[in-house]
Structure 1
Amino acid sequence: MVVDRYNYIGWVRKKQGKISEAWTSHEQAMQILQKYLPPTHPRLAVTYNYISLLYSAMNDHSSALDCLEKALHIQEQALQPNHPHLAETHFNISIIFERLNKVDDAFQHAKKAIDIGNQAFLTSDDPQMKMYQEQFDKILLLTQSCNELVL
């Protein structure tokens, strides 16, 4: 599908540091999706996830979070509760909350990513699960450090 190509080109451009070109590609993908698909179609969530990465790369974490919350809302309506895409979105939200210094929220979403990954039958040696576990462990340490500071 053309949308997949636009998103892939956008992803490559982001990796190359060509953010404005990445924006153009993802915007083209989003325009096509919004024209032809219902607003709760899971393909929109994929593009929202890509756009959130661009916002994050520009240190606009609030806008990144907005995109991820839109993606999560769509996914919760359209996908099974144990779908791996939900785990990935929770993982991404956890990272953004961490960058916003909202450790408790980051912890909740990191935990949710792990839980969904386990329900989706991802094994502990799966690369995605390893990423989720590393994020969870990092947030757990931050949470413990924050609790020690309060005491």
Structure 2
Amino acid sequence: MEQYRHALAIELKAPYPNQQKIATRYMNMGDLLRQLGRFDEARKSVKTALKIELDILPPTHPDLAKTHGHLFDICHSMSDYPTALEHAKESFRIAQKSHAANHFRIATAHNNVAAALDKLERHKEALKEAEKAVEIGRHTYPLGHPEMRVLENSLNALRWKISQLVDNG
């Protein structure tokens, strides 16, 4: 963290600060803070990165989808599922406009939407999103690939959960 802060300080003092580099520094700091469990600080740092990106990037730039994905991760970790869902949907919306229809980033965005919907107990909607994630992901990786296992496990967990709700409900 000390190195990230030092690099940020240098960048901020530059005669012509590179705003993209500054946003990246805030993003890196946010990622580290999330890993350390310092979620409020992480969210603040990544929101700062997003604000900078919104000022310098076109509204459909893939980096914006990625940043919203990071905010999804933080909010999900904080159990702030309504906000996590907002960021997952925004990441998906941007990814749809900046990537091909079968790009893995879109599959990941669907999976994030599914995860937030599941936590909000909107299981059937979550299942549809998880199914879309796996279907799109298959265009990039074969089933069983480590990247696909994440999507497959989410889908299988939702199917199991829904079957338990039906059996017990």
User: What's the TM-score, normalizing by structure 1?
Assistant: 0.91
Structure 1 counterpart of 2:166, from 130, 147, 151: 147
SS of 1:119's equivalent in the other structure is coil
Match of 1:33 in 2: 53
Length, aligned pairs only: 149
Q: Within the alignment, does 1:79 sit opposite 2:99 as a pair? A: yes
Match of 1:9 in 2: 29
Q: Which of structures 1 and 2 has the larger relative contact order (alpha carbons within 8 angstroms, sep 6+)?
A: 1
Displacement after TM superposition at 1:12 (Å): 1.4
Q: Distance in 2 between matches of 1:137 and 1:101?
A: 16
SS of 1:97's equivalent in the other structure is helix
Match of 2:157 in 1: 138
- Equivalent pairs: percent with the same residue? 25
Q: Distance in 1 between matches of 2:82 and 2:43?
A: 17
Match of 1:49 in 2: 69
Q: Within the alignment, does 1:116 sit opposite 2:161 as a pair? A: no
Structure 1 counterpart of 2:38, from 6, 10, 18: 18
Match of 2:81 in 1: 61
Q: State the AA in 2 paired with 1:127.
A: P
Residue deviations 1:54-83, cap 9 Å, x none?
222221100110111111111111210110
Structure number, greater radius of gyration: 2
Structure 2 stretches lacking a partner, 5+ long: 1-19
Q: Distance in 1 between matches of 2:40 and 2:121?
A: 27
SS of 2:138's equivalent in the other structure is helix
Q: Distance in 2 between matches of 1:100 and 1:92?
A: 12
Q: CA RMSD in A?
A: 1.5
Structure 1 stretches lacking a partner, 5+ long: none
Ranges of 4+ aligned residues in structure 1 off by more than 6 Å: none
